[in-house]
Amino acid sequence: MSLRVPKTLPTLLITCYKHIFPAVRKELAYWTDYAKRIPNEELRTQALASIDTKTFHCEGGAIYATLAKSRWYDAIRFIVAYQTISDYLDNLCDRSTSMDPDDFRRLHDSMLNAISKDPVANQTNYYELREDQDDGGYLASLVDTCQEVVQSTPNYEAVYPKVRRLAQLYIDLQVHKHVKLDERVPRLTHWYDNENEHDDVLWNEFSAVTGSTIGIFSIVSYALNGFNYSNQIMNAYFPYMQGLHILLDYYIDQQEDEEEGDLNFCHYYDDEKKTIERLKFFINGSQDSTQNLPDSDFHQLIVSGLVGLYLSDLKADELHNGEKFKKELLRHSGHKARLIYLNGRAYRKWKKKKGLGQ
């Protein structure tokens, strides 16, 4: 069966509910069962928590699988496995007693190996520099799944440089933002000075831009269908779409991150008004930069989807002036974002009733 790339909101929603979300739940059920068998208690706890609390990351990312058309399920397998690695390692680093950048980088070697066609690369002990070791092969199996997909991707070598660039920036971010508290901002600002090529992007925004995986998902999904749009996706998604994605994620997590003592890039704006102003900047940039992409209607829907889905999270209501700013951002984004917001509210309630994770 081949999926069509959705061009309208009704088609997108039907495709998600009929094909994408059930496939994601099937893949996550497999990884949940695997995680339950992890021998080490701490690794098992973080693996299960990362799936339970971040299911929507996989569901949102998996929408890009439609770009693979007949190979959409292969794209689902890659996206779910890669996003699960990302969420699992983020949990490990956030809740870790370690502050060792070498440890964080070794863990995240798995994300570079996952996008490599070389199976020899997956012989690393990713836990080498930390006390908790035995995950029963969980992380290596996630990497293997990603490698199986990229190994079967036509002309993958052509898109690999851009995929690796995005993955490397993501890894650098994870290292810099999880070190000792007093080292984080100096490391991130120095990194920004050396890596940023966009004058209209602030240091905290550049960090957010690098924290998204959706550019990788888009490039790989297209490649599975035989297309190399890596340059076009890189130009459109970096910085605007990826920045919008992660800034919205941080926006709704502000209260939670403050309670947990986690770094949040929205905290570095002067006030709430500035935060909303910059979110609007990334909404505008995303809408403009995706207009000339192949399947531009689809990518424009993703812009609306990001805004609507993130703001449909109940955490957005709990923020200071949350209701006011939510309405302002939805109004700025257009009626499709509003419709996706309402749909997202209903879907979250259904998932909660069914016990299908967050």
Q: What is the pLDDT of residues 18-64, one digit of tens each?
A: 999 999 999 999 999 999 999 999 999 999 999 998 888 999 999 99
* Percent of the chain's residues with pLDDT above 70: 97
| CA atoms of 103 and 82, how far apart (whole Å) | 19
In angstroms, what is the C-alpha Rg of the chain?
Answer: 19
Residue with tokens 């060792």: 100
| CA atoms of 240 and 248, how far apart (whole Å) | 12
148-194 tens-digit pLDDT? 999 999 999 999 999 999 999 999 999 999 988 899 999 999 999 99
The answer to whether the CB of 241 falls within 8 A of the CB of 166 is no
Of 283, 282, 300, which Cα lies nearest the Cα of 291?
A: 300
> Residues 6 or more apart from 30 whose CB is under 8 A from it?
none
The answer to whether the CB of 308 falls within 8 A of the CB of 339 is yes
* Percent of the chain's residues with pLDDT above 90: 81
263 to 91, 222, 275, 337: CA distances (angstroms): 13, 33, 16, 28
Residue with tokens 């959705």: 6
The per-residue pLDDT of the chain, averaged, comes to: 93
Q: Confidence band (pLDDT; 50, 70, 90) for 358? A: low
183-229 tens-digit pLDDT? 999 999 999 999 999 999 999 999 999 999 999 999 999 999 999 99
Select the more confidently predicted residue: 187 or 325: 187
> Residues 6 or more apart from 188 whose CB is under 8 A from it?
173, 176, 177, 203, 204, 207
| CA atoms of 13 and 21, how far apart (whole Å) | 10
| CA atoms of 32 and 325, how far apart (whole Å) | 36
> Residues 6 or more apart from 194 whose CB is under 8 A from it?
none
Of 177, 233, 183, which Cα lies nearest the Cα of 204?
A: 177
What tokens does 263 get? 């770094």
Find how far residue 35's CA is from the centre of its chain: 20
> Per CATH, the architecture of 9-354 is what?
Orthogonal Bundle (1.10)
Residue 324, pLDDT score? 87
Q: Helix 335-354 and helix 296-311: axis angle, to 10°?
A: 60
3-18 tens-digit pLDDT? 999 999 999 999 999 9
| pTM across the whole model | 0.94
295-317 tens-digit pLDDT? 999 999 999 999 999 999 888 88
Of 10, 94, 87, which Cα lies nearest the Cα of 56?
A: 87
